A and B are shown apart, each in its own frame.
Chain A
């Protein structure tokens, strides 16, 4: 086995969070290496709705600043398009979705409230199911696959390295610091370690003496054949999230998830279920004039969540040179900003552009040990026996 050259910063996890962090570091000349057990972006990073409008997050302002310039910064297309429309098919939904408008307004972003006529004008595929909606003059959507690859290629352009098909098996520590990552391809030295390993983050952090509490779940999406482009593709609502792609396909997800136990190593398969039918029915309600469009694929992703669903971007108390990051099931849209926050923690020791204290691990100091049971996050699939 030939020796793999170490790096100043080794990032475990070639998802959108790890690759964005790698790109932010590499573009400043930091020697960075991303380790990925399979293919980059093969987990949740490549299987989401592509939304970029997270008004509840402390990273929101930076998310909004960065997306419109990401193509230019990366040098690769992300397919980002700005603004979104959220349609309601009941007064109940209309009231629920209003919170986005208030959250965004507080941070200086405008929205319009749409009546039925305006909503139908903005969304040609809408129909008589719509009772109103919101036009967010912020946010938007991008293509997860292309963005992911853009981060990877841009990072490589700046000298960063990626090792795919490389599984982390352990860590070597000296004096409260991780000095090397042990992999199935040998040991790789590092000055700083970033754990951004999605569902594996819990297991890997536990090996370092401070477990990031996460539980995995399977979620699903569907996509239709292409339809003529609507003037604004970022249309969702009716309980669904998603978008019309720039090619014209309707790509949407939503509905119930299934909690899963992670296998010790490797990845879980990602089967879809008949939930596809229920997503399809909702999509036909959201966009009745697309009811003839045919579903041509469905897919599933395995996503991790923390107990409160909020991200963790923090340093481990036990190991001074380790940064852990999970975006807790809402990571794609925030990735330009989350990568920068990780870069700040690695280089400067603290995030310089946003108050990310709500992402700290300390908030779980009093978390009940049986939090999974208490929250009803039960596993019924066959891997239960393998659960760590």
Chain B
């Protein structure tokens, strides 16, 4: 019996242009990634370690990969100086070089692909890498993701002004590059992540004008709080930022007290500052992890949505590991890099070993309810805001438009008859889905890829549905997890046998026969599939 030829328009048998093959790819050269790369090299694996930092100035300006909020000093334009500062700020980078790790800085991983129930085309694990000049595909035996953290965005009137930025971006600029623009900042949030940020910024010479916390009491580590207070830093618990004012950038934060219901009351106080640092919720960077198909779940003890891991840091995908902040963020880990390094060491020890299927030991529960805490911030800052502002800055969508599921403004759609289509009308019998709301309102659909708004949108939906954050599904991530110019795609050539079949949708002649010529019966044997064909 002869095996029929495979459908020529399908992916079957079409080779991918793989530029390189490596034993171990480590993504992210922070404490965990460096430990993983150095450890894997010591075990004799060929190791490629990539880190997108330092990202080009223009990319920082687009708030990719962190919410830089235009808080870069002019010196951040000097790419060579940024590269030197990045290397100098982390001694283990030199150690990785010496250990024989193929280290590529300024190289982002924009996609990770693994075969699964709906994909059989990949030759194995495939990663997409890009630097400023080109984009390539590499095939890897093992991947250790050490992608770090980012910050939940938190809006208020004026939050789009230059100087409003995420804590992780602020820390990177101040402590790794010495390229932090603002001189005097207000910090929002008082958890341990916020307090360590405050201390590090202070040590870098930045004046901390105040720490603003919506909760009645600060919630972070008592020792950190004490050392901040001893330094004369004012901690305003039970307060919220009402507005960031200023002409071309932040010049002041207007803050107000909250009443027992979380509503701003009383006189506002003006605090002069040129930066507002958002530190209300550090979240694991799971874009590659989710896009690759690894199982993720909302885990309060890991800082929100995080990969589901075994005791050796294995994700649900074979040969894919997550270590460091992208595997979960908690207070002790924030304060002690040895915890992240130990995760990396466990992953390295497990490379090539059979899974023992032991469950990971969960970190201890945080001392506060992160869902309630983040929701309280969004209620006080966004819902109770005194003026409308854009929660999604890219697509200019307000909180009200998200909760009312309004069509985008470019449609100028006014139909008074039908103004009752709110979130509750959409819900039916399931939890609100941020991807569904995204499709209808465009919130999260812009070039920042939802980095500034996705946690806020989830919080708004949770508040709208009176559900905890854990009930809101994760808005899905998909490649490219870093924006990629069309012109950058030309470096991965297409197989010629694939290239010749694009002109018809499924390559099926019969599908496009005009209805007046269709025969009464269809069989494969009598189907004429010769000659060229194009779809609609």
CB-CB contacts of B7-39 with A at 8 A, as 1s and 0s?
A: 111111010100000000000000000000000
The distance from the CB of A354 to the nearest CB of chain B, in whole angstroms, is 9
Secondary structure type dominating chain B contacts:
loop
Please report the C-alpha to C-alpha distance between residue A307 and residue B502 in the assembled complex, in whole angstroms.
Answer: 20
A5-13, A23-31, A171-179, A361-369 - the one binding chain B: A361-369
The distance from the CB of B115 to the nearest CB of chain A, in whole angstroms, is 6
**Interface pair B502/A239, CB less than 8 Å apart:** yes
Once A and B bind, how many residue pairs between them come within 8 Å at the CB atom? 286
**Interface pair A56/B514, CB less than 8 Å apart:** yes
Asked whether any CB of chain B lies closer than 8 Å to the CB of A241, the reply is yes
Asked whether any CB of chain A lies closer than 8 Å to the CB of B363, the reply is no
Closest to B523 in A: A366
Chain A residues in 8 Å Cβ range of B120: 258, 379-382
B92-100, B255-263, B326-334, B527-535 - the one binding chain A: B527-535
Chain A residues in 8 Å Cβ range of B483: 225, 294-296
The distance from the CB of B420 to the nearest CB of chain A, in whole angstroms, is 10
The distance from the CB of B521 to the nearest CB of chain A, in whole angstroms, is 5
Q: How many residues of B contact A (CB 8 A)?
A: 93
Asked whether any CB of chain B lies closer than 8 Å to the CB of A96, the reply is yes
Instruction: Find A308's partner among B425, B439, B522 (CB 8 Å cutoff).
Output: B522
A111-119, A267-275, A314-322, A343-351 - the one binding chain B: A267-275
Q: How many residues of A contact B (CB 8 A)?
A: 107
The distance from the CB of A150 to the nearest CB of chain B, in whole angstroms, is 10
**Interface pair B536/A100, CB less than 8 Å apart:** yes
Closest to A248 in B: B410
Please report the C-alpha to C-alpha distance between residue A77 and residue B412 in the assembled complex, in whole angstroms.
Answer: 10
The distance from the CB of B303 to the nearest CB of chain A, in whole angstroms, is 25
Asked whether any CB of chain B lies closer than 8 Å to the CB of A85, the reply is no
Asked whether any CB of chain B lies closer than 8 Å to the CB of A329, the reply is yes
**Interface pair A374/B4, CB less than 8 Å apart:** yes
**Interface pair A381/B119, CB less than 8 Å apart:** yes
Chain B residues in 8 Å Cβ range of A283: 486
Chain B residues in 8 Å Cβ range of A276: 111, 479-480, 489
Asked whether any CB of chain A lies closer than 8 Å to the CB of B487, the reply is yes
Chain B residues in 8 Å Cβ range of A358: 515, 518
A96-B532, A305-B511, A378-B10 known; 20 other A-B pairs, CB under 8 Å? A164-B428, A164-B429, A247-B410, A254-B502, A254-B505, A274-B113, A278-B498, A280-B486, A283-B486, A296-B449, A302-B118, A305-B506, A330-B536, A358-B515, A364-B521, A374-B4, A376-B10, A381-B118, A382-B116, A382-B120
A-B contact pairs, 11 of them (CB 8 A): A75-B417, A255-B498, A291-B486, A297-B449, A298-B478, A302-B118, A308-B511, A363-B519, A366-B523, A375-B7, A383-B117
Interface of A toward B, CB cutoff 8 Å: 39, 46, 51, 53-58, 75-77, 79, 92-93, 95-97, 99-100, 103, 106, 145-146, 149, 153, 157, 162-165, 217-218, 224-225, 238-241, 246-247, 254-260, 263, 268-284, 290-300, 302, 305, 307-310, 328-330, 355, 358, 363-368, 371, 373-383, 386
